[in-house]
Amino acid sequence: MLAQEGYLQEKFQDIYKIYGLSTKGARFLGITPPVCNLFNNTTTQFTPDAQGKEILDMQPSVEMIAEQEKEARFAKPKEVSTTSKNASSKFGDTAIENLHALLLKLCYLQAQARSVAPYMILGGQVLEKLAFLRPTTVERFRDIEGVDEQKAIEFGPLFTEAIKASDNTHCS
């Protein structure tokens, strides 16, 4: 509502949506441009936006950016219960659920080792397809929709071995 009334302006910088105080908002608050520091650890200044209106540009602090990146990078996958045979489960089969949980964990560990988000290793839909189809060779792994040649080379052996080991534990 404040943005609609012209008191705040929306601005995009990199991947962040930033709201800044417009000249109208600064006048309303009795702030004279460019002297204004509303928050600790933020840089504030008046800059013109794309339409030429001056906005109070409040940049996120280094600490804020680092915290957001840390949360996004190391978001843990949801745990899948392996003890109950719940008919309303996503897969309807505990063997598939167990394999999916194993693949999620493996993906998460690979992401941590590379300091990237887990989806950059293999996406959620790919992991689900792997749990259903259980490819045990790199060639079959490569055939999964969403797996490109590079991912097949880099992660195929690791994930297919995990699937083979999972199949062996369920067969005995």
pLDDT digits (tens, 9 = 90+) for 66-107: 776 666 666 655 555 544 444 446 777 888 888 999 999 999
Helix (H, G, I), strand (E, B) or coil at 12: strand
Domain spans in the chain, listed from the N-terminal domain onward: 8-64, 76-171
Architecture of domain 76-171: Orthogonal Bundle (1.10)
Closest CA to 146 of 90, 155, 166, 113: 155
pLDDT at 144 over 70: yes
In the prediction, which pLDDT does 24 show? 81
In the prediction, which pLDDT does 43 show? 46
pTM: 0.48
Give, for 155, the enclosing helix (H) or strand (E): helix 149-171
Report yes or no: 48 and 33 within 8 Å, Cβ to Cβ. no
Per-residue model confidence as pLDDT tens digits over 15-56: 666 777 777 877 787 776 544 433 333 445 555 555 655 555
